[in-house]
Structure 1
Amino acid sequence: MLTDIYSQLLIMSAVAGVLYLLLKLANKLTKKYFTATWHYYSHLLMYSLLFDSVLSEQAGDNQK
């Protein structure tokens, strides 16, 4: 049970890390065409993926 939580956190952390790197690599291109609001919401979406997995795992543990 605890290993499942850690494995899910590890996977979601890796996904968030890859998304962060992709956004940073594409920042010079996207800065020309997109506004700061777009950058803000894209990072917010990336961070919400990480926090969503943590909250859903905790909710699942409380139901058992």
Structure 2
Amino acid sequence: MNFQSGDEVVVISSEFHPNTVGKTGVVIDEAPPFNGVWSVEGPLGWFIDTFVGCAGYRAHEIRKV
């Protein structure tokens, strides 16, 4: 599935960030990523919000709200 910058998404699963499942964020990529990992920022958890700023998810791990 393709997303656009500004799309609000919910995390439905995550291999690398399992504590963010069920949380929402916003896609920040302007174009489809070459590596298949979409950048999402938003209230994903205190660690990501404080230290990382955004998290990466594969298309099957996120869904538009």
User: TM-score over 0.5 for the alignment?
Assistant: no
Q: Name the TM-score, length of structure 2 as normaliser.
A: 0.23
**Which structure: greater helix fraction?**
1
Q: Name the TM-score, length of structure 1 as normaliser.
A: 0.23
**Which structure: greater strand fraction?**
2
Of structures 1 and 2, the one with the larger relative CO (CA 8 A, separation 6+) is: 1
